[in-house]
Amino acid sequence: MKRLGFFTASFLNGLYVDDQAAAVELERRGCSVTPLVWNEPFDPRSFDALVMRNPWDWYKHRPAFRAFLHGLHEVGTPVFNPPAMLERYADKTYFRHLDALGVPTVPTEFFTPARLDEVPAVLSRRGWSRAVLKPSFTANAYGAQRFEATTVEAVVAEAKQHPVDSEWMLQPYVDGIERDGEWSLVFFSGRFSHAVRKQPKAGDYRVQPDHGGQSLLSEPPSLVVEAATRIVLTAVPEALYARVDGVTFDGAFRVMELEVVEPELFFRLHPLAAARFADALLEKLG
């Protein structure tokens, strides 16, 4: 019997409802699945594998989460996704890595907190009339600001008051998200499984449920699937799970986020998703 630990957060009181479907599927195959609160003690020797799933309060404990990810290198138990991948992709400065690989991304400029005063000049040089400024090491749109170029000075002043121990990202505002939403395509071991279209509430741009967004199972165009597949196979071919969040911008499907740390995988929305995940995990374990 494979003993599996799923990392989660204390406020969830066990597994998140979506991951319960994956746990049921794995238990049906003779495995045991134990929720592990990421910032509480655990014995890695008690498990055959550890899987990062829902440590969703991590952005409120950023130094502790960084230390936790770094410590996973030493546990002596297989971790999914691999610790080095988790560390690289926990901070959205990974956009630089994607750009170096030739992966199409939404245009992004980075600033250390000490360089925030440069944002207006860069915004002007880029010609972006609307933009989003957000921390690179955060989640759930925490700290993000959508703004008009005419209000950039006030936005920078507010950003300076935000407690951030990472860089800041400046991106053009993709207004198509309000109209068409954002694609999230889920992959297991590099194979496309299913996709959802994430739609913000009227007048908003944030697609997360905490901000009123909705996610609906949808069939993406074949060109979107092909583009997302190339992205996964180029950037994270060894990932057990990956979610490509993207939009069509300037005529191409571009990455908004490449989620390989703790993405929701929407098991509950697709009848085969949990089985595909279990197949991929058990194949990794041999």
Q: pLDDT tens digits for the chain (286 residues)?
A: 899 999 999 999 999 999 999 999 999 999 999 999 999 999 999 999 999 999 999 988 999 999 999 999 999 999 999 999 999 999 999 999 999 999 999 999 999 999 999 999 999 999 999 999 999 988 766 778 889 999 999 999 999 988 778 899 999 988 877 777 899 999 999 999 999 998 876 656 555 666 556 788 999 999 999 999 999 999 999 999 999 999 988 888 999 999 999 999 999 999 999 999 999 999 999 8
pTM summary value: 0.93
Residues contacting residue 146 through CB under 8 Å, at least 6 positions apart? 130, 131, 132, 173, 205
Q: Please give the domain boundaries of the chain with CATH numbers for all domains.
A: 3-80 (3.40.50.880), 94-105+176-267 (3.30.470.20), 109-172 (3.30.1490.20)
- Dihedral sign for Cα 22, 28, 32, 35, please: positive
Distance (Å, rounded) from C-alpha 215 to C-alpha 192? Answer: 18
The tokens of 143 are what?
């700290």
Distance (Å, rounded) from C-alpha 268 to C-alpha 136? Answer: 29
Range 166-197 burial, b when 16+ CB lie within 10 A, else e: bbbbbbbbbeebeeebbbbbbbbbeebbbbbb
CA 62 to chain centre: 15
SS3 41: coil
Beta bridge partners of 135: 168
